[in-house]
Structure 1
């Protein structure tokens, strides 16, 4: 073999070793991160009854789809309907575009066209409408930081920020409050 053949063979081996070294040091595939975000289960067209720490009904949830995160055990829900009992066992109906439930059922976050209707036969019937509502079933409370409209039989209130006691049907608007009252409307 001539010196040119030996030189060609050495250069081919050097190129192969360099290529192998570069291939080994490339960045890992991002597909591994996508696999972690996958839910550990998904429910379709279901009804779920969640219990509080005393074993009493905290809320009932109906929705077309629910998925549970394997990382933090939270629930993500599409177009949920929550039925939340008041102190007499009658249920508030709360609907929205999306919902999120904490792993321990202590907090529900509702987003997009949220509407909460007081229980049927309530002495002071009311409907709350907002874009964001956080519900705390254990405490039977709800809160919002954005614009809320509360409609009753003879009045409509609007304000930014709200706290509600679902057990007593007491709603408090926090700022920029306006009220229209029509005592003849029933």
Structure 2
């Protein structure tokens, strides 16, 4: 009889445990979906396009040509592949830029150039300069550019190599970090 009570108690406890587990499973909330990981999809894409950005006063400040551009929603930025840019000041061309990729803010106030960046003045500039790096952030309205990546500046036969750059083109000032100058004798 004691053996029968033991088996009965065991069956009741096992049944209670099974019922409790079933109730927990029944009322368990749905698992949350994992957060989205990966690049955002563009709202639209264009092949072989030209983008012109104008200032509030109607003057052209940036002209971009590229084989492909993606416009992303939210902040409205543009991702541009292999851009060729002309940056204007007072309606006149001042700088040219090329890169493998770039990110342009919707208002054109900030350009992030990435991969094989070349930022250079026009050949008719009295003191033409050519800036090469892997990453450069440019602010066309403010006529500034900066990078913390290694940079090479070529002006005439002089070559400067530095570990970073801050440039203000309105005052023709360059701030270089840890630079080396190579200037062949004349």
TM-score for the superposition, normalised by structure 2: 0.76
Q: Is 1:66 the equivalent of 2:69?
A: yes
Aligned residue in 2 for 1:174: 176
C-alpha separation between the residues in 1 aligned to 2:170 and 2:46?
30
Q: Which stretches of structure 1, 4 residues or more, deviate above 3 A after TM superposition?
A: 24-30
The alignment partner of 2:178 has SS state of strand
Distance 1:87 1:177 in 2: 32
* Secondary structure class of the residue paired with 1:146: coil
Query: Corresponding residue for 2:165?
Result: 162
Are 1:56 and 2:75 an aligned pair? no
Paired position in structure 1 for 2:9: none
Secondary structure at the counterpart of residue 62 of structure 1: strand
Contact kept, 8 Å, 1:160 with 1:173, in 2: the verdict is no
Give how far 1:174 is off. Answer: 2.5
Q: Distance in 2 between matches of 1:38 and 1:177?
A: 40
Q: Give the superposition deviation at 1:128.
A: 0.5
Matched residue, 2:151: 148
For 1:88 and 1:78, the matched residues in 2 are separated by 25
Aligned residue number for residue 115 of structure 2: 112
How far apart, CA to CA, are the structure 2 residues paired with 1:157 and 1:87? 29
2:94·2:122 contact (CA, 8 Å) conserved in 1?
yes
| Alignment size in residue pairs | 166
- Per the TM alignment, residue 26 of structure 1 is displaced from its structure 2 partner at its CA by 4.3
Matches within 5 A, 1:93-132: 93-132=96-135
What is the deviation of 1:29? Answer: 5.8
Change (3 A) 1:37 1:88: closer
Asked if 1 retains the 8 angstrom alpha-carbon contact of 2:82 and 2:98, the reply is yes
Cα RMSD of the aligned pairs, angstroms, is 2.8
Q: CA deviation at 1:165?
A: 2.6
Uncovered stretches (5+) of structure 2, i.e. residues with no partner: 1-21
Cα distance in 2, alignment partners of residues 167 and 87 from structure 1: 12
Structure 1 position 27, deviation (Å):
3.7
Give the equivalent residue in structure 2 for 1:139.
Answer: 142
1:112 Cα deviation from its structure 2 partner: 0.8
Number of the residue aligned with 1:9:
none
